[in-house]
Amino acid sequence: MTTVIAMRDAGFILGAYAATVAVIGSFALWVLRAGRRSGRLVDDEEKYWT
Amino acid sequence: MTPTTSPQPTARRATGTRATRVLGIVTLVMLGWLLLFGLVLSPADIDQGDAVRIMYVHVPTVWLAYLAFIVTAVCSGLYLFGKRHSLGFDRVAGASAEIGVVFMALTLISGSLWGRITWGVYWQWDARLTTTALLFVTYIGYLAVRGLDGTRERRARRSAVIGLLAVVEIPLVHWSVRLWRSLHQEATILDTDLDVDIDGLMLFTLFSGVIAFTLLFVWLLLHRTRTIALDDLLASRGLDRAIAERRAEVSSSSPSGGGS
């Protein structure tokens, strides 16, 4: 970890990785929550993947 | 005293299956692998130093954004020109475009941070950067069109036409560094000579990133497509209910007591 922090321009590099993780994580959570919300209102027989 | 038993609502499934759960776990492992290699195990570049580490998220996100937009175009074509005009293709097209926009946003963010290190500025109105921003805005427009009023079929037809037209921008973005004088470096892997000029461990890390993001794309696409299918089903039910209520209103208000 200290090696990573000691990198030159560590703020920009870690910022790029942090932004990627944050954006993808938020989008994935939003997708899962939306699916869960809508899934509750529909019977399993009507879902083509079940 | 006899307890009153009310029927318990059965737990209904969301958009996940056993396969998507396995895929999700493999994707998480691959993303962790990418973090380890990208930030720790891969070497620094002779010219760029540690800044090259941004490449391991920047390049996979742009490739996956291209792939997502190509999937949108293919599914748009299958919807428009297929015999059945299946709305399933339209749903995949819409889901893929949403994911592509997210990946493209990440490309712009990581690219501007990389640009700040190598060029000293976050943004330049350079050919590659400008065409990439244009592609991003085009697909935001595509998503906006998908949200416009109209029947499901009309919206699908409109967005399919845009999905087919917008994909033409991808070769323009990719070749912009050759067509115009650009600050942006030329392709390291997909160049015209197919000459891979990159260290072995760096190439390995880059391909790890491509595999991790491809798995992520498939996982997101499956979940998002299923959510859109659920929303369509709920919307059509709501419409059916509204029509039934309106018919009931008309029949109760007419003097004869029946609707014509």
Q: Rounded CA gap, B105 and B89, in Å?
A: 24
* Contact between B39 and A42 using a beta-carbon 8 Å cutoff: no
Q: Does a structural domain hold residue B256?
A: no
Return the pLDDT at B178. Answer: 76
- How many Cβ pairs within 8 Å bridge chains A and B? 113
How distant, in Å, are the alpha carbons of B76, B85, B111, B228 from that of B79? 5, 5, 34, 16
Return the pLDDT at B90. Answer: 95
Paired tokens of B147: 């949200």
DSSP letter string, B139-196: HHHHHHHHTSSS-HHHHHHHHHHHHHHHTTHHHHHHHHHHHS--SSPPPSSS-TT---
Q: Rounded CA gap, B69 and B139, in Å?
A: 8
Query: Facing residues of B45 across strands?
Result: B49
pLDDT tens per residue, chain B (260 residues)? 445 454 455 567 888 889 999 999 999 999 999 999 999 999 888 888 889 999 999 999 999 999 999 999 999 999 999 888 889 999 999 999 999 999 999 999 999 999 999 889 999 888 889 999 999 999 999 999 999 888 888 999 999 999 999 999 999 988 887 777 766 776 666 665 666 677 788 899 999 999 999 999 999 999 999 999 999 999 888 777 778 888 888 888 776 544 44
Query: Is residue A30 within 8 angstroms of chain B, CB to CB?
Result: no
CA nearest to A3 within chain B: B40
Q: Does a structural domain hold residue B99?
A: yes
Residue numbers in B near A48 (CB within 8 A): 229
* Contact between B226 and A9 using a beta-carbon 8 Å cutoff: no
Return the pLDDT at A50. Answer: 81
For an interface test with B, the pick among A1, A2, A3, A27 (most B C-beta atoms closer than 10 Å) comes out as: A27
* Contact between B223 and A35 using a beta-carbon 8 Å cutoff: yes
Residue numbers in B near A10 (CB within 8 A): 50
Q: Does a structural domain hold residue B227?
A: yes
Return the pLDDT at A23. Answer: 96
Question: pLDDT tens, A18-49?
Answer: 999 999 999 999 999 999 999 998 888 888 88
Comparing C-alpha atoms, which of B59, B23, B22, B24 is closest to residue B38?
B59
How many structural domains is chain B composed of?
A: 1
Q: Does a structural domain hold residue B251?
A: no
Residue entry with tokens 């899962």? A32
Return the pLDDT at B239. Answer: 72
* Contact between A31 and B40 using a beta-carbon 8 Å cutoff: no
**Residue B195 CB partners (closer than 8 Å, separation 6+):** none
Return the pLDDT at B13. Answer: 83
**Which helix or strand (DSSP H or E) is residue B129 part of?**
helix B127-146
Return the pLDDT at B188. Answer: 65
Q: Among A13, A41, A42, whose Cβ lies nearest the Cβ of B51?
A: A13
* Contact between A17 and B220 using a beta-carbon 8 Å cutoff: no
Q: Does a structural domain hold residue B56?
A: yes
Return the pLDDT at B131. Answer: 92
Return the pLDDT at A35. Answer: 93
Query: Is residue A13 within 8 angstroms of chain B, CB to CB?
Result: yes
Instruction: Give the domain extent around B113.
Output: 20-185+200-234
Q: Does a structural domain hold residue B157?
A: yes
Amino acid (1-letter code) at residue B241: R
Q: Does a structural domain hold residue B252?
A: no
Can you tell me the ipTM of this complex?
A: 0.91
Q: Does a structural domain hold residue B239?
A: no
HSE of A13, CA atoms in CB hemisphere, 13 A? 23
For an interface test with A, the pick among B12, B18, B210, B233 (most A C-beta atoms closer than 10 Å) comes out as: B12
Q: How far is B230 from chain A (nearest CA, A)?
A: 6
Q: Rounded CA gap, B21 and A9, in Å?
A: 37
| pTM of the complete model beyond 0.90 | no
Residue numbers in A near B50 (CB within 8 A): 7-10, 13
